[in-house]
A and B are shown apart, each in its own frame.
Chain A
Amino acid sequence: MNARLKQIIGRISFYIGVAAFALFCGFPMIWMVLTSIKPDRDILTSTPVFWSWDVHLDHYRNLFDQTDFLIYFVNSITVAASATSLTIVIATLAAYGITRFRFIGREYIAAGMLFTYMFAPILIVVPFYILMKNYGLINTKLGLVLAYTTFSLPFSMWLLRSFFQSIPLDLEEAAMTDGASRPQAVIRVIVPLAFPGVIAVSIFTFIVAWNDYLFARVLVSDNLMKTLPIGMNDLYNATITDWGMMMAGGVVVTVPALVFFIMIQRYLISGWGAGAIKG
């Protein structure tokens, strides 16, 4: 009887812990959404108004009408999507090459991959800037795409490599015995099996590109070329902060990513495994 009670209390406190944790992770986002749909007079109060019945979307309208937010958004999508596609192609080829072929220097390339995986943007941003300036890639999307692709490559190759390693060679050989050419065998058999890896790589690259502040800050000064992180930060710094509008911007930037993320999260957990601690 006593043991049973103890168990119930243990269970309840566990769920209280779970709820507290959920609040800790989720509350900032909830507060962001709530602030973005409140009228200004309910935002700028010393006693916060949790819920305002006067729901309106003016902050969103202002964001798109009065600022260049839409341009930043389109720039960000373009750059992130290009970098992601490019990374998938290059990383898949490289990871396949390094797991399926034997050649001199292979181990060094694998080790080099791991080494460059540890680099942080701040380490290379100075010479990178000079390099891009010399090639005339300042204020271009290409410069940013190159930066994000290169930066995500080591981790992506490394991750896909472990996926390819876990796929038995027999499968490929069987497909080829059945008359498929090697590229066909790879595309129809191997890539689908490594799909969680490809998903994980694309999410990783997309987040790198979508999130990056440093490269964009250094490489872009033209307002029409700005991506969301620098565009938003400049909006924030520009005048008296319009909190409602900034929160609306935050929602627009974050929510699509969150929704997408929830949809594919089961691939993520299996795809990332223990290695995914870069950031």
Chain B
Amino acid sequence: MATTVSTDVSNVPTKQEAPLPMRGRRIPEHYWGYFLLAPAVALVLALILYPVIYSGWLSFHFKHAYLPLETFVGWDNYRDLWSDTAWPFSAADGFWRSLYLGAIYGFGSTILQIILGLSAALMLNESFFGKALMRGVALFPYMVPTVVVAILMKWILNDAYGILPYITDNLGIGRILWFGSDWVMVTVILVSTWTFFPFVVIGTLARLQTIDPELYSAAKVDGAGILRRFWHITLPQLANVLFVVILLRTMFMFTKFDVIWLITGNGGIGFYTKTLPIHTYTKTFLELQVGAGAALSMMMFLMLVVITLIYFKVYKRDEHI
């Protein structure tokens, strides 16, 4: 079966365009296209694109989550974002601070996922005893529901009864307060890495398998060691795929809500992991300021548009990402 999903938008092979012979056909061909696509397009328009536009509209209003209050306020919600002065280490919270924490979380967890995921993919690309089993095991973390991951990690890292603090203590590293204000961001990043690195494995392994083995044997003959082979063959071959994986992972991590929320929640240590999605959720559903929340989601949407544009550019260049 196909190991590489072709993602080409613009040049679909013309072979498939040929009209099919259809007995007793009354409806013209192209109507069938619309007809078959209608349910999908209708759902996406009504429940994804319309909400985004609605969100844009809301961001110019003051709106309460439950009370029927709705006043047009122009750019006020955005001005509030822009002028908020809360800084990372201050006691207040706000847009810039959430952006800063989001950057730490987003980049931190993406980098670790890439390192871990790529190493795992390289390992799984070798042949060894138990390889099929290990391929399944590598995808395990992805299969554990987020809520279970959060509760399980809270148990494993528990200050009083957790097994990991016990192990680190006995190894002489000492007990780390994983859910203390100093460490909680690290904890959230590490847990996210554990949960999401399988995506990187899936993404890169498919491409690794298509690298011509001849390239490696030739390099071996030339006396290139394992690091040189990785640097001069694997990495260049992988570059495009890796670029897209990094781009998309960064974006998904920037907009990640549930892992962080489920581990740290609102208030208390949640303050130290208040990234942009958490800030948005708190503003909307706890402070009940829907307009301000919508303005925050529009900021995320803006980032998404920028990343999408980059993605489309790269992706047109290489059909087989």
Contacts and interface: CB of A to CB of B under 8 A. Distances in A.
Given A151-B48, A169-B15, A122 B255 contact: yes
A196 to B, nearest CB: 5
B314 interface: no
Contacts of A278: 199, 248, 252
A246 B29 contact: no
Contact of A31 (B5, B48, B148, B156): B156
A29 interface: yes
A223 B13 CA distance: 52
Contacts of B265: 237
B202 to A, nearest CB: 5
Per DSSP, are chain B's interface residues mostly helix, strand or loop, or mixed?
helix
A68 interface: no
Per DSSP, are chain A's interface residues mostly helix, strand or loop, or mixed?
helix
A158 B199 CA distance: 17
B60 interface: no
Given A147-B47, A157-B40, A232-B148, A258 B140 contact: yes
A116 B48 contact: yes
Interface residues of A, number: 117
Contacts of B37: 93-94, 97-98, 109
A228 B39 contact: no
A277 B199 contact: yes
A124 B52 contact: yes
Interface residues of B, number: 118
Interface string A212-231: 11100010000000001110
Given A28-B194, A44-B161, A93-B40, 4 more contacts: A98-B33, A123-B301, A126-B294, A166-B2
Interface of B: 1-7, 9-10, 12-13, 15-18, 20-23, 29-37, 39-41, 43-44, 46-52, 54-55, 58, 120, 123, 126, 128-130, 134-153, 155-156, 160-163, 166, 194, 196, 199-200, 202-207, 241, 244-245, 248-249, 251-252, 255-258, 261-262, 265, 277, 280-281, 284-285, 290, 293-294, 297, 300-301, 304, 307-308, 311-312, 320-321
Enumerate the 3 nearest inter-chain pairs by beta-carbon distance, A residue then B residue, closest first.
Answer: A97-B36, A101-B33, A120-B255
21 contacts: A25-B141, A26-B137, A28-B149, A45-B161, A48-B162, A100-B33, A122-B280, A128-B47, A130-B54, A154-B44, A169-B18, A181-B23, A211-B145, A232-B147, A253-B145, A257-B143, A261-B139, A262-B136, A273-B2, A275-B7, A275-B203
Interface of A: 14-15, 17-18, 21-22, 24-26, 28-29, 31-32, 35, 43-48, 90-91, 93-94, 96-104, 106-107, 109-116, 118-128, 130-131, 146-147, 149-151, 153-154, 157-159, 162-163, 165-166, 168-169, 172-173, 176, 181-182, 196, 207, 210-214, 218, 228-230, 232-233, 236-237, 243, 246-247, 249-250, 253-254, 257-258, 261-262, 265, 267-279
